[in-house]
Structure 1
């Protein structure tokens, strides 16, 4: 009980610092997710439209996901240096697979009969993609976005190792000082952020499914 009170008091006393770290954490995740959507959706569409390149695209994104996070950041550090931007690029790579794969799966899961009906009324391939396939694949994309967001929030916690901020700064400081309070003061908001992102995106995913149904 005393520990909880001490933790609560510490978080209140350092609320301005924790808020600043939280904003930086959120920004890193938002920039990375934004990049993964800009790059991942077109890659998923290409993979769905051209089956010969699909294994290549999916394999490359799988490889990026399999590289240990610290190793990935160490490689990026050599080329991009320390700081916020390097962390954003690392998070972008880790967020890419769920976006690409779910866009690909969503497009492939569209009922062939719906596509044939579209062709029958004279729709072009681009019209079929934009007005039929992509709208129907949005629930799959939202599921991928949900996974990517949770992954990005978690991986962002190691940002301080390459000079970035976020809640990881408080966690790593706590490890260095052997302070449980500092570790929890960083870990609890980071976990809460991941849960909030998961819940919000889960509700949006459910709404998109209901609209299509």
Structure 2
């Protein structure tokens, strides 16, 4: 305990800086995943023959070891935060893409027919019917991706991207439990708080009727 307090007294500012680095590396990767995966998931519901192939391909990428993905981007993007974000972006894709596809695909077809009968265009049906009804499933994918990426972002330390992984791996190399704890605890807290906030966001974005029916169970 005394060792941890001494560490915080001597390295408090650096800990905050590395926590911020870790957070924004994860956040940018998740945002890129949202920008790409959600529109792609919606598009795949229009071409179901391609959906299985594309989701399967993304699933195969997901099975690659994290360090292998990071190493793959080094010759292309060098070292630092950019290749780390690129690798984490690839890892964020599968849960969001799969959940978006499933959530939109499972929307009640009678509701889509009603929207068509009201004169809604295809984009209007996506915006006003399909996406709102699929929000709980889509957000579940975003939450899973985000929590995973916050954990995986510790590996970014291997290619000079910084973050809390620096403390964890330095602690392992130097046999310093205080460094390992200084990296691991903020990562865990960050993942828990982010999941909690995304859960609140999911609840706020879910249409009231769906939310009430979920709470009834």
Task: Give the TM-score, by structure 2 length.
Answer: 0.92
How far 1:6 sits from its partner (Å)? 2.1
Measured after TM superposition, the shift of residue 205 of structure 1 is 2.0
Aligned residue in 2 for 1:118 = 115
Q: Distance in 2 between matches of 1:170 and 1:119?
A: 56
1:170–1:185 contact (8 Å) kept in structure 2 = yes
Offset of 1:185 from its aligned partner? Answer: 0.6
Partner residue in 2 for 1:62:
59
Q: Deviations over 1:72-94 (max 9, x none)?
A: 11111122111110100011001
d(CA) in 1 for partners of 2:12, 2:180: 15
Question: 2:214: which partner in 1?
Answer: none
Matched residue count? 210
Task: Compute the displacement of 1:41 (Å).
Answer: 1.0
- Distance, in Å, in 2 between the alignment partners of 1:79 and 1:64 is 17
Is 1:92 aligned with 2:73? no
Please give the root-mean-square deviation of Cα atoms over the aligned residues, in Å: 1.3
TM-score normalised according to structure 1 size: 0.94
Residues 212 and 83 of structure 1: CA distance in aligned 2, closer, same or farther (over 3 Å): farther
Query: Displacement of 1:210 after TM fit?
Result: 5.8
Uncovered stretches (5+) of structure 2, i.e. residues with no partner = 211-217
**Cα pair 2:132 2:205 within 8 Å, conserved:** no
Q: Which runs of 5+ in 1 are unaligned?
A: none
Aligned residue in 2 for 1:148: 145
Equivalent residue number for residue 9 of structure 1: 6
Q: What do residues 24-72 of structure 1 show as CA deviations (whole Å, max 9, x unaligned)?
A: 0011011101110111111101111110110122112111211110111
Equivalent of 1:139, from 136, 140, 153?
136
Q: Which residue of 1 aligns with 2:127?
A: 130
For residues 152 and 12 of structure 1, the distance between their equivalents in structure 2, rounded to whole angstroms, comes to 29
Shift of residue 212 of structure 1?
4.1
Deviation per residue, 1:107-144 (Å, 9 max, x gap): 01211111111112222222211211112112211111
Q: Distance in 2 between matches of 1:122 and 1:193?
A: 45
Pair 1:211-2:208 in alignment: yes
91, 101, 119: which one aligns with 1:104: 101
Task: Select the residue among 173, 178, 188 that pairs with 1:176.
Answer: 173
Q: Is the 8 A contact 1:43 1:57 kept in 2?
A: no
Q: Does the C-alpha gap of structure 1 residues 212 and 25 become closer, same or farther in structure 2, counting only changes over 3 Å? A: farther
Residues 37-76 of structure 1: pairs in structure 2 closer than 5 A: 37-76=34-73
Q: How does 1:160-199 map to 2 (within 5 A)?
A: 160-199=157-196
